């Protein structure tokens, strides 16, 4: 599934817009479509990379970076080029040292590397000719390995406007005057099999990837809507454990695109009053979604994302209005656009207690623009050691009010992030700009090497456990899981 939107600044490689295949997840993209097991490109089936120096390919010291490549084909040689992250033109090249067993070693001197991220691109020589009778000869075996060098020291431009706080305080004050006028539709109850079936067919999730995280075996769900910032309504799916009590609340923020939203049944099964919203002011289950055109790209008060951000804040207000929500345990989760919105909402609302931000899209706008300019001019960008400057355009000055990295310093709750190192949609220099700017010391980022704009089941499982610890929810609890059942220990 490919999502194209004019409102997200996507990475540009060699002048070509790069989009990944967007697989869904509970804490990641959360798409309303069937589950599939395909990986987001760029994946390299016949090439696998690792380093004996670092299991996540983040390096902080040393004169040489030692990278290894295992080929899944009979191999003759491996040629490589080294690039700044997402920049098409290389600044080094060479031939790897061949080892026995179709393995190769590449030693890269760290002298001259600026703190940040780098792409090692390789092409495997299998000894095949261009004979059309050889199927592999038609497909060059190429791969990419992205690594970080002193990533936490990466130079990032300071583009936060002087009136940033005042601008958003005024917007929040206007939002506070709008009555919620919340409404709920009919409730539907889901048991274990129904949750699994719904996840597979409608929420782009495997049937049950985290059984140890269950806090309820029956959940209930309904459609909700409440007043939005523009005179319209904000629509969402609500799901919660099917029993009485006060529960932690989870706002599930969607990835980019104008499409239906799934019920957050998996989140409810993990013990949350969960709300998945349509951030564009549309209903959550339309058969066909009209395209929405961007507007106000050079004026902060009329920028498209102004009302998107306020709809998210209104969703927090809605959750806090519910008698079944514990107001001391409000968390945000999301991936891609949802990852960026998690950073935005936590930066604007101090009531948020924790954030899981996956593959956050569009932070560090100056660097994104600089990469695009490098590729257009066909230069390698190694003459720049400092942070790229903000483009001197009305659009760039406007986007500074919406760049997720400019919200990060106001976040003081625990934050868990991840970044796919070969992600062309949310490149690591973009994601790490947020992480490095976070105002909290209770932060952690997981670098997933060989991973693009995609979901990781194991990251989600660890994120659920992380939230348990942050919210002080015991991992093993006694509760009645189903109506009429005996208490069961999880």
Q: How much is the pLDDT for 20?
A: 35
Residue 158 lies inside a defined structural domain of this protein: no
Which pTM does this prediction carry?
A: 0.91
Residue 147 lies inside a defined structural domain of this protein: yes
* Gap between the terminal Cα atoms of the chain: 36
Last residue of a domain, one of 153, 174, 190: 153
Q: How much is the pLDDT for 473?
A: 62
Q: How much is the pLDDT for 370?
A: 98
Domain tally, the chain: 2
Q: How much is the pLDDT for 133?
A: 61
User: Domain residues for 168?
Assistant: 164-489
Task: State the CB neighbour count (10 A cutoff) for residue 212.
Answer: 10
Angle between helices 304-321 and 164-176 (to 10 degrees): 50
Look up the CATH number of the domain holding residue 129. Answer: 2.60.40.1930
- 348 and 449 within one domain: yes
Spans in the chain with pLDDT lower than 70: 1-30, 129-139, 293-294, 473-490
**Are 408 and 437 in contact, with CB atoms under 8 Å apart?**
yes
- 172 and 146 within one domain: no
Under 8 Å CB-to-CB from 164, ≥6 apart: which residues? 400, 401, 406
Under 8 Å CB-to-CB from 90, ≥6 apart: which residues? 81, 82, 83, 121, 380
- 428 and 302 within one domain: yes
- 277 and 187 within one domain: yes
- 198 and 129 within one domain: no
- 338 and 309 within one domain: yes
- 247 and 193 within one domain: yes
- 427 and 328 within one domain: yes
Q: How much is the pLDDT for 297?
A: 80
Last residue of a domain, one of 153, 180, 210: 153
Q: Which phi-psi region, left, alpha or beta, contains residue 225 (left: φ > 0; alpha: ψ -120 to 50)? A: beta
**Are 359 and 365 in contact, with CB atoms under 8 Å apart?**
no
Secondary-structure breakdown of the chain: helix, strand, coil percentages, each rounded to the nearest 5: 25, 25, 50
Last residue of a domain, one of 93, 124, 153: 153
Residue 233 lies inside a defined structural domain of this protein: yes
- 361 and 437 within one domain: yes
- 300 and 407 within one domain: yes
Tokens of 51: 């380093």
Q: How much is the pLDDT for 461?
A: 97
Q: How much is the pLDDT for 259?
A: 86
Q: How much is the pLDDT for 43?
A: 87
Going through 228-349 in order, the beta strands assigned E by DSSP cover 233-241, 247-253, 273-278, 325-335
- 322 and 417 within one domain: yes
Residue 345 lies inside a defined structural domain of this protein: yes
CA-based torsion, 207, 213, 215, 220: positive or negative: negative
**Are 339 and 423 in contact, with CB atoms under 8 Å apart?**
no
Q: How much is the pLDDT for 172?
A: 98
């Amino acid at each position: 599934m490919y999502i194209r939107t004019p409102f997200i600044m996507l990475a540009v490689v060699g002048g070509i817009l790069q989009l990944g295949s967007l697989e869904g997840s509970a804490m990641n993209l959360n798409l309303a479509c069937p589950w599939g097991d395909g990986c987001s490109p760029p994946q390299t089936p016949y090439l696998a990379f690792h380093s004996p120096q670092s299991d996540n390919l983040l390096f902080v010291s040393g004169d040489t970076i030692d990278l290894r490549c295992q080929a899944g084909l009979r191999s003759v040689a491996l040629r490589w080029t080294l690039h700044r992250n997402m920049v098409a033109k290389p600044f080094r090249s060479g031939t790897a040292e061949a080892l026995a067993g179709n393995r190769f070693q590449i030693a890269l001197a760290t002298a001259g590397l600026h703190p940040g991220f780098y792409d090692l691109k390789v092409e495997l020589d299998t000894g095949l000719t261009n004979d059309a009778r050889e199927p592999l000869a038609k497909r060059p075996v190429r791969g990419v390995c992205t690594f970080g060098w002193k990533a936490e020291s990466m130079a990032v431009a300071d583009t936060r406007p002087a009136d940033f706080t005042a601008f958003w305080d005024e917007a929040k004050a206007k939002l506070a005057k709008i009555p919620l006028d919340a409404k709920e539709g009919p409730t539907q109850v889901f048991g274990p099999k129904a949750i699994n079936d719904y996840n597979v067919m409608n929420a782009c999730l495997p049937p049950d990837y985290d059984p140890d995280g269950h806090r309820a075996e029956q959940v209930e769900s309904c459609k909700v809507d409440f007043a939005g910032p523009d005179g319209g309504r904000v629509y969402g799916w609500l799901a919660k454990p099917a029993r009485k009590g006060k529960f932690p609340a989870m706002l599930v923020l969607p990835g980019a695109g104008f499409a239906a939203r799934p019920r957050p049944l998996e989140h409810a099964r993990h013990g949350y009053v969960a709300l998945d919203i349509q951030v564009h002011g549309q209903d959550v289950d339309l058969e066909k979604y009209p395209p929405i055109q961007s507007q106000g790209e050079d004026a902060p008060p009329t920028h498209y994302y102004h009302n998107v951000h306020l709809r998210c804040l209104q969703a927090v207000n809605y959750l806090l209005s519910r008698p079944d929500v514990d107001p001391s345990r409000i968390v945000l989760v999301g991936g891609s656009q949802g990852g960026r919105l998690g950073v935005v909402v936590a930066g604007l609302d101090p009531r948020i207690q924790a954030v899981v931000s996956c593959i956050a899209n569009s932070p560090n706008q100056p660097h994104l623009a600089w990469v695009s300019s490098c590729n257009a001019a066909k230069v390698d960008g190694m003459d720049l050691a400092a942070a790229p400057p903000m483009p001197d355009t009305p659009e760039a000055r406007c986007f500074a009010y919406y760049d997720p990295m400019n919200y990060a310093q106001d976040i003081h709750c625990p934050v868990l992030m991840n970044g796919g190192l070969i992600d062309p949609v949310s490149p690591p220099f973009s994601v790490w700009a947020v992480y490095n700017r976070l105002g909290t010391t209770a932060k952690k980022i997981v670098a997933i090497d060989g991973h693009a704009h995609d979901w990781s089941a194991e990251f989600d499982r660890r994120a659920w456990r992380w939230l348990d610890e942050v919210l002080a929810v015991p991992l093993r609890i006694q509760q009645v899981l189903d109506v009429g059942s005996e208490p069961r220990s999880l």
